[in-house]
Amino acid sequence: MRMLILSDLHATFESSDQKNSRLSFKDKESEFGRRFIHYCKSLNLNIDFLVCPGDISNQGCGDSFENGWRFLNQVSNELNIKEILCVPGNHDLQSRPGTNFSPLHSVKFCEPSFPSNDFETNTHFWGWNWSHIEAKSFNCVLLNSSAYHGFSTEYKHGRVAPETIKQLSNFIKSDDFKEKPFNLLLCHHHPVKREDVDFESDYEVMDGGQALLNEIERESSEPWLVIHGHKHFASIFRAQSGGFTAPLIFSAGSFSAKLYPEIETRTANQFYILDIDLEATSENERLIGTFEAHSWDVDNNWHPSSSENLPHKGGFGTDISPKNIIFKIKELLEIEPYLDENSLQPIYEMLTHYTPTEFKELLKKLTKANLEYDISEHKLIQVALKK
């Protein structure tokens, strides 16, 4: 099951302030958007779901939202994607004074309808700040983490109310929540603190986020994937958990927002392709799959990511420790003095579902094991014993 993830578009248009986004529209057309669609078509992808964790608009502007939402539907149509899964972000609602009297009103009454094409789903979402979509291979919970924006200083962070968590918990325990290989929680704000992004206290985190993760993990038997945006900084990691099936959190970087100075040298504008191995996920009771990250910059246009925090290819869901991989490498080194890409093929299979952080941990342990190595794009290309 394959997802295309675009987050934090911050779409603008010709007559608005364009300094915040590369996705700028003139007469309903965007050169940046057109190049993206052309690049995706060249990859010959077969996408099941287009996923957007919010901030389609910029600074509560209704015209920005109209352009961004139209673009997402254009992507869905031109790439033959079956369904869009989407939630609003803080820029789509009441975070800032916009050009219309109510950004929330514009989002509720836009065409095509938002966040889904189903009236009852949307009514539940706007009434209770969450809704459920049952797909063939997973349950999806859409969460409005910007629901309280417009009140006091709520625009500074996300929130999920205790009453909302209780509603979700009761729903997950009900017969209406049917068992699937995995569950997806889609939200805009990050549910756990990300003080590693700006290297300072994180006050933007979703209030109640950790309680929400604890509850959904406790009340369901199948693993959870959490996809969020907001931070404009990509990463993939397991949430803090006391159980066997800790939620996997995929933090999407920004598709087209111009990056702020603290992160612009450490990440890039990106989109992602997430592949879930449904059979392996169901059999092993944990999310197993791979991802691809593609980046944009002025010199190279769209291209396979060379960003360190989320490289071009990686995975998630491994149960193979670095110790076992090092043992296998040393076995191979007993046959030949050094290993090249051909010799390392068995190792590549073992590394398929390593996250970037897990791969970095492996490299540290290779050094401690007296092994020297060369890598290219987060891939081992040669390994030998140190002389």
Q: What is the Cα–Cα distance from 30 to 11, expressed in whole angstroms?
A: 10
pLDDT at 18: 64
What's the confidence (pLDDT) of residue 106?
Answer: 82
pLDDT band at 172 (very low <50, low <70, confident <90, very high): very high
For the record, the structure tokens of 385 come out as 């014993």
CA 373 to centroid of chain Cα atoms = 31
* Chain segment 333-343, per-residue pLDDT in tens: 999 999 999 99
Q: How confident is the model at residue 101 (pLDDT cuts 50, 70, 90)?
A: low
- pLDDT at 378 exceeding the cut of 80: no
- What global pTM score does this model have? 0.95
Mean of pLDDT values over 70-97: 90
State the Rg of the chain over Cα.
21
Residues 6 or more apart from 58 whose CB is under 8 A from it?
A: 10, 11, 12, 16, 17, 20, 21, 64, 91
Q: Of 95-99, 108-112, 280-284, 326-330, which range is least confident?
A: 95-99
pLDDT in tens, 348-367: 999 999 999 999 999 999 99
pLDDT at res. 16: 56
Per the structure block, which two tokens stand in for 340? 């090249």
Question: What is the band of 94 on the pLDDT scale with cuts at 50, 70, 90?
Answer: low
Lowest mean pLDDT among 30-34, 91-95, 371-375: 91-95
**Res. 45: pLDDT tops 70:** yes
pLDDT tens-digit series, residues 186-226: 999 999 998 888 888 889 999 999 999 999 999 998 999 99
Q: What is the pLDDT of residue 115?
A: 96
pLDDT of 51 higher than 70: yes
What are the tens digits of pLDDT across the range 116-137?
A: 999 999 999 999 999 999 999 9
Q: How confident is the model at residue 308 (pLDDT cuts 50, 70, 90)?
A: confident
What pLDDT score does 17 carry? Answer: 60
Q: Which two tokens stand for residue 209?
A: 């986020």
Decide if pLDDT at 52 tops 90.
Answer: yes
218-236 pLDDT, tens digit per residue, is 999 899 999 999 999 999 9
Residue 357's pLDDT is 93
Backbone region of residue 210 per phi and psi (left: phi > 0; alpha: psi in -120 to 50; beta: other values):
alpha
Look at residue 25 and give its three-state secondary structure.
strand
Write down the pLDDT at residue 28.
Answer: 85
What confidence category does residue 266 fall into, taking pLDDT thresholds of 50, 70 and 90?
confident
What pLDDT sits at residue 149?
87
User: By mean pLDDT, which of 92-96, 230-234, 250-254 is the weakest?
Assistant: 92-96
Q: What is the pLDDT of residues 10-27, one digit of tens each?
A: 999 865 566 789 999 988
Residue 100's pLDDT band (cuts 50, 70, 90): low
Checking if the pLDDT of 144 tops 70, the result is yes
- Rounded to an integer, the average pLDDT of 59-74 is 91
Indicate whether 87 pLDDT > 80. Answer: yes
257 DSSP 8-state letter: B
| Bridge partners, 26 (sequence order) | 29
Residue 123, H or E segment: helix 119-128
C-alpha span between 285 and 293 (Å, rounded) = 25
Q: Mean per-residue pLDDT for 259-281?
A: 92
* Average pLDDT of the chain to the nearest whole number: 92
Give yes or no for residue 243 having a pLDDT over 80: no
> How many residues does this entry show for the chain?
387
Between 178 and 387, whose confidence is greater? 178
Tokens of 377: 């794009």
